[in-house]
Amino acid sequence: MRTEYDFSKLKRRKIKITINLDPAVVRFFKEKAKKEGVGYQTLINETLKKVAEEEHLASLLKAQLLSDEHFISALARKIKEARH
């Protein structure tokens, strides 16, 4: 897994794909997009991009915390205290 992703580059270039979505999902995004004055495909793309960024950041944070000896020690103490 990469240590860094640059999602800003995705705005410059998009790839056309075919995707099957539940009708309720499409309706939701079309209604929301209409209210926000954007295209529903743009809204779906922005939502997926946000999820990907958040998942990546969570993965990085997890890796950093698990390699931090002070954090692991403090966590172990808290767990031990909670058991007593």
The CA distances from residue 29 to 14, 35, 81, in Å, are 19, 10, 47
Q: pLDDT digit string (tens) for 19-64?
A: 999 999 999 999 999 999 999 999 999 999 999 999 988 988 898 8
pLDDT at 36: 96
Query: Over 90: is that where the pLDDT of 14 sits?
Result: no
Helix 40-66 to helix 69-83 angle (10° resolution) is 80
**Beta strands per DSSP E along the chain:** none
Q: Is the pLDDT higher at 23 or at 4?
A: 23
Enter the pTM of the model. 0.61
Q: What is the pLDDT of residue 10?
A: 63
Domain spans, the chain: 21-83
pLDDT of 11 higher than 90: no
